[in-house]
Structure 1
Amino acid sequence: MKRHAFALLLCLAALAGGGAPVFAQDAVGAWTKAGPVEARLVSAVRGTGDLAALPLGLELRLESGWKTYWRSPGDAGFAPRLDWSRSGNLTEATLSYPAPHRFSVLGFETAGYDTAVLFPIRGKPATPGKPVDLALTAELLVCSEICVPQTLELALALPAGPAEPSDAANEVARAQALVPKGPNGLLRVDSVQGKGAALEVEATAADGFVSPDLFVETDPPLTFSAPKTVFSDNDRHVRLTLTVTDPQQGLDLAGRAMTLTLVDGDKAVEAPTTASAGAAASVPGGVGLLGMLGVALLGGLILNLMPCVLPVLSLKLMSVVKHGGQAPAAVRAGFLASAAGILTSFLLMASVLVGVKAAGGAVGWGIQFQQPLFLVFMVVLVTLFSANLWGLFEVPLPRALADRLGGDGLAGPFATGMFATLLATPCSAPFLGTAVGFALSKGPVEIYAIFATLGVGLALPYLAVAAWPRVAGWLPRPGRWMATLKIVLGFAMMLTALWLLSVLTAQIGEVAAATVGLMMAALVLALWVGRSARGTARTAGPALAGVLAVAAFAMPAAVGPSAGAAPVLAESKARWVPFAEATIREHVAAGRTVFVDVTADWCITCQANKKLVLNRGEVAQRMDDPTVVAMRADWTRPDAAIAKFLSDHGRYGIPFNIVYGPGAPDGLALPELLSEGAVLEALSKAAGKPAGKGV
């Protein structure tokens, strides 16, 4: 009887909207009602585990016609006021706000939520691993035709024990996903201009705008009208104009710091920035164009040292040796031609990317290596370079054209520069990913500027020799030793062809790729027979080689882009699981650390990261830990989900590695070139533990 009486008293207290806090099971608190609003506390985990941060939530439900307010309510209202002081073993609780809705009533503009909302909360236990007793006093203002302040007493007890996902884990994860964050690939604030009491904002949506809205926060606070919108570029671009509703005399928004929250349906982005009085404002998250040009120059220069560019070293070396003993003017002309080939390739690449982006397609650094026909082209080209180094064929230019190009001709050095650029694209050197990501998130002007600067960076060694042509005079003079060197370098080029065939295997399968390889072997044999034969056979060899080269391009079309392709995971190690972005937040909510490796068979830097860091030593041991989810996103072939994941993080090239965990729910991005120390430190931080400790 006593137990039933106590339960009855608790129910009566809940119906009264106050009284003693109710502790519920399964990490979901009891609903507490106050007027037209009811609320409860929820947790994404059943127990505290050893988490340094607990994924929690404050869930509200409102009766029809009622609303409550965002962190910056607008012309009226106030944000939720939370008091956690009665909680046990809790040092801090940080509440996040999902993207708000606009309410326009009688000329007043407010921002908030109606029907229902779940506010994600990040709670920090004073002593991880111990029980946490949550006790919250929440003051809310709810309004319809009238406004009524309401106070709710909420409670939830989390026991010590495994931090397994609770019934509310998915809801908390979804709410966290609705919280506006920094730059992403869906929405982008391009420029912000202050014109007196008016604010003009330019923005872009990758998939086009539907019903955009903009919320502006300033310090001290100002209230703004609803934005007036002007659309362009098939609704992918919008200009939003807002005015301060009650401006002081002489108010000028130019130079004022502010936080913009751009919302379009379920998509939102938050952008702290400073309004400019000129044509554009610098939106956060990065350096301006001038600073990024310096980053691009460094990235292009370092690209010369990356493994993808090493195969073209043979062509560089032969070019340098060939210039031994020549006049400085001839040396300068040859190296300037190579630099021009590099710069032309980068500008062509920029033109293609601008066109694809304008058409709404996916863009990225090195994505041409996802196309089987491009890979076949590269295999044929490298094979022909090798055959040329072995002396099996030459392509003499017409005399008039050779004279115009300058004696020995500049076409060869120019082609060498273009070839170097083609082989450079599977690599992502330090600084290069940052520069390319900046360019591809902007417009055509930035893309051309960044890619031209990358080209200058890659061409700097050529430009240096062109500036000091006497460097070529220090090298050995041409002689018989060059014939042997050509043979060796030809075999080095063939190793590049074998690597390209291994990448092609992932696209069209082992049998089809092996057939292309056999065709290339037959092509070399036909050129060798034609070179040593006489009469009709001398022309039949090159003709057969041409037929084989053309036939190789038919193989992808005959087999199909993915028939018989290699498995998505390049390695058979059981610890790696396929990429699934939707599960990341669930793993984090359960207290696990998630390491995401975006890679591809054609990305040399990715393979180096695996061999030198990810698959060896202490890093490999940490990946085997059951609390770590090692997730591999294989981008060898086109994949829209992976492309979106990259663009959401402002990345358009690979490798890209990022670590999520209770201590880093938004992720910790790693540099392109991994080191054991950097990976271990990120894993520890994401787990919410001191660096150097086990996960």
Structure 2
Amino acid sequence: MEKPLRLSKLVKLTLAILLLTFFDDSQTDAKNASSNIIDNDHTQLRLLSSITAVGKSETLMLGLHFTMKPGWKVYWRSPGDAGYPPSIDWRGSTNLGDFEMLWPIPQRFSILGLETLGYKNEVLFPIKIRLKSPGKSLLAVANIDYLTCNEICVPYKAKLALDLKAGPALPSDFVHIINRFVALVPGDGATHGVSIDTVESIGKGKQVYLRVKASSRTPFTYPDVFFEGPDVLVYDKPSAVFQSQNKEVILTSKVHGTEDLEPPNKLANLIFGVTVRDGDRSAERTLSIRQVSSKDPSISFGYIIVLALLGGLILNLMPCVLPVLSLKLLSIIGHGGGKKHQVQLSFIASAGGIIFSFILLAATLAVMKSADMTIGWGIQFQQSWFLIAMILTITLFACNLWGLFEFRLPYWISRLGENTAHIQGLSGNFLTGCFATLLATPCSAPFLGTAVGFALARDTIDIFAVFTALGFGLALPYLLVASIPSLATRLPKPGRWMITLRQAMGFALAGSTIWLLSILSNAMGQNIGLLVGSLTLSLIGILFLAKRLNKMQKIGVCGVAVVVLLAFSVPSLMTYQAPENITSNKDPRFKNIWQPLDVKAIPKLVADGKTVFVDVTADWCLTCQINKVFVISQDNILQRLEQKNVIAMQADWTLPDDAVTAYLVSFGRYGIPFNAVYSSKTPRGMVLPELLKQDAVIEALDMGR
């Protein structure tokens, strides 16, 4: 019995030695397949090998592995607006020939208007190495220069050394992590079912865009695009327009710095690297840029001019212009029993004021566009200084109609025509036309959005042509009276009844002042609104006192000047916090319906079978309020918006908002109201008319069922 026992002990001892040897070899292999580890305050890095020894192959795969502390990042090969990518110097290496560093698909970081591309948490850069002498040992010495950033940026230098002996090339413990990041390196997209079809340049001057069309076997969810071109160029985050049930997407990104190119502002025929990402899927191509016209050949310029004329004409019936109707009415009645040529000159002057104001507005927008500033229809109502100026101006007009003062222009100007409603002569009629244009801008009307969108997306000459047509449309009623003066001259002559009518019209203008004060309060805070309102009342009081004391020059003029200065200084002297979702919080019926607009979430919601209703509105947009009262807040619409498969999103444009502006521009719109419905049948969004109709909204919402 002694021999079997001894044999059993010998077997156990042999097995133990073999296990220890295997464990020691495994530990040695793991150690040989990794360099030293560099650990600092923000990152940890090491150089890894996918095999334990060099084997007989001419090439092998290494990996530069970064682990970042929370919040810190390193950069992609084309980092964007800031930063620089990791670089490797192989001085001190032996048996290392050529190498190629591969770059996994990065993620985008948008911070304070800067767009950067890189990696957080962890990244491994695969590195293809070609050996000078296959089969011989490799000493890879990597001198790393890299930048890591969070709220601040810290540059680092590190030296890593990896020693791979000659011997069989067995898989190392790190082969899986290396392969995982190799799979994230963009290729031609065939593996992921993604292809980049075209890349085009549109626009010119400072308004240059790159437009990429990509397609996919499965629907896109969160597509993005990264460009690699001349170093002087930087690129905005792209907007996305989906087609073919989200299996096609058009990504459009604004390009900055084209004026520094040679020749300036020309991208045509330049070679760009284009990378499209959608989650973990990606595709990459190198393409020559094709220049295309930004104009839609399917829309004739003459058709747009007709739309502008109609839009301007209909604008006369919009609520924004109602306060000016009092001045229009007084102007017509004031010519009762008058001479025909005086009527003609008066109404031509008013029409001239309207057209001049639209030309001035076109010039302002053209200059803003060339300076790369935000442009749009009615955006001046987003500015506190403009609201205050309009409040004071309308109040002065109302005080004039109440008879508290007479607005006397310089003698040489007033002699250009006869007295008309205390605002003297042709110059007064001209100013009335200018005033009508200012009040018209926060309103939209049928055909107006299409015409304005066409103009602001085109050249300067197109902007002037379309806005001049809008002016003629708004001025058509004046031109009608000028061509048929008997419409005014046959009215009864003005008498004492005219004074009562003027006072009533003054209260109509006062109502406009209250409306503008409410906009100012909602946008800038109640304290600012109350203080400006108090100053407005004091303005009326000063003019009343000056008239009673017959000291208009000493009290009236000086008092008005002081009130104006104080009113304009209120926003800068007082701090305010504008409430979030200003518009949507006002009506309790919508409390649990509206969500903030999230453009990125819409494709995923549609893919999940949801219907998304988007409403872009503002306190100063009276057409938006009409849509809300007569359409959106109606029971049959509310019931649909409350359904589980319907998501209602609202964007508030009362104050300037670059994200909302970019969303509107993606549809070629530069004004509001704007409403769109997204569903499985309309994944790109169905744009609804400016003036909503219940039937149109119901049909669009039911289409997604």
TM class by smaller structure:
0.5 to 0.7
Q: Deviations over 1:503-559 (max 9, x none)?
A: 10122101110111111111111111111124x688324432331122111111112
Indicate the residue corresponding to 2:218 in structure 1: 121
1:240 has 2:255 as partner: no
Instruction: Assess, with a 3 A threshold, how the Cα gap between structure 1 residues 566 and 504 changes in structure 2: closer, same or farther.
Output: farther
Indicate the residue corresponding to 1:395 in structure 2: 407
Indicate the residue corresponding to 1:511 in structure 2: 527
Corresponding residue to 1:550 among 560, 565, 570: 565
Q: Deviations over 1:627-653 (max 9, x none)?
A: 111111000000010000000111000
Q: Please tell me whether the aligned partners of residues 341 and 415 of structure 1 are also in contact (alpha carbons under 8 angstroms).
A: yes
Corresponding residue to 2:480 among 446, 464, 484: 464
1:355 has 2:367 as partner: yes
Q: Please tell me whether the aligned partners of residues 98 and 175 of structure 1 are also in contact (alpha carbons under 8 angstroms).
A: no
Cα distance between partner residues in 2 of 1:635 and 1:231: 38
Indicate the residue corresponding to 2:354 in structure 1: 342
AA matched with 1:119: S
Q: Please tell me whether the aligned partners of residues 676 and 686 of structure 2 are also in contact (alpha carbons under 8 angstroms).
A: yes
Q: Please tell me whether the aligned partners of residues 364 and 653 of structure 1 are also in contact (alpha carbons under 8 angstroms).
A: yes
Q: Map residues 267-666 of structure 1 onto 2, 5 A cutoff.
A: 283-284=295-296, 286-405=298-417, 408-534=424-550, 539-560=554-575, 562=577, 567=582, 569-571=584-586, 572=588, 573-574=590-591, 575-666=593-684
Instruction: Assess, with a 3 A threshold, how the Cα gap between structure 1 residues 351 and 423 changes in structure 2: closer, same or farther.
Output: same
Instruction: Assess, with a 3 A threshold, how the Cα gap between structure 1 residues 69 and 206 changes in structure 2: closer, same or farther.
Output: closer
Pairs aligned (count): 475
AA matched with 2:468: A
Secondary structure at the counterpart of residue 394 of structure 1: coil
Secondary structure at the counterpart of residue 665 of structure 1: coil
Q: Please tell me whether the aligned partners of residues 282 and 288 of structure 1 are also in contact (alpha carbons under 8 angstroms).
A: no
Q: Deviations over 1:645-683 (max 9, x none)?
A: 000111000000001122211111000000110001011
AA matched with 1:328: K
Q: Please tell me whether the aligned partners of residues 378 and 441 of structure 2 are also in contact (alpha carbons under 8 angstroms).
A: yes
1:208 has 2:260 as partner: no
Instruction: Assess, with a 3 A threshold, how the Cα gap between structure 1 residues 530 and 375 changes in structure 2: closer, same or farther.
Output: same
Q: Please tell me whether the aligned partners of residues 512 and 559 of structure 1 are also in contact (alpha carbons under 8 angstroms).
A: yes
Instruction: Assess, with a 3 A threshold, how the Cα gap between structure 1 residues 265 and 540 changes in structure 2: closer, same or farther.
Output: farther
Deviation at 1:400, TM superposition (A): 3.3
Q: Which runs of 5+ in 1 are unaligned?
A: 1-60, 71-79, 83-94, 103-112, 123-171, 179-183, 189-203, 212-228, 243-261, 268-278, 690-695
Indicate the residue corresponding to 2:222 in structure 1: 174
Secondary structure at the counterpart of residue 374 of structure 2: coil
Secondary structure at the counterpart of residue 458 of structure 2: coil
What is the TM-score normalised by the length of structure 1?
Answer: 0.62
AA matched with 2:222: R
Cα distance between partner residues in 2 of 1:601 and 1:96: 43
Secondary structure at the counterpart of residue 377 of structure 1: helix
Q: Deviations over 1:292-313 (max 9, x none)?
A: 1111111111101111111110
Indicate the residue corresponding to 2:89 in structure 1: none
Secondary structure at the counterpart of residue 631 of structure 1: strand
Instruction: Assess, with a 3 A threshold, how the Cα gap between structure 1 residues 208 and 66 changes in structure 2: closer, same or farther.
Output: closer
Greater Cα shift, 285-294 or 611-620: 285-294
Secondary structure at the counterpart of residue 666 of structure 1: coil
AA matched with 2:584: L
Deviation at 1:475, TM superposition (A): 2.1
Deviation at 1:266, TM superposition (A): 5.8
Instruction: Assess, with a 3 A threshold, how the Cα gap between structure 1 residues 677 and 463 changes in structure 2: closer, same or farther.
Output: same
Secondary structure at the counterpart of residue 495 of structure 2: coil
AA matched with 2:331: S
Q: Please tell me whether the aligned partners of residues 581 and 651 of structure 2 are also in contact (alpha carbons under 8 angstroms).
A: no
AA matched with 2:527: V
Cα distance between partner residues in 2 of 1:66 and 1:319: 70
* Structure with greater Cα Rg: 2
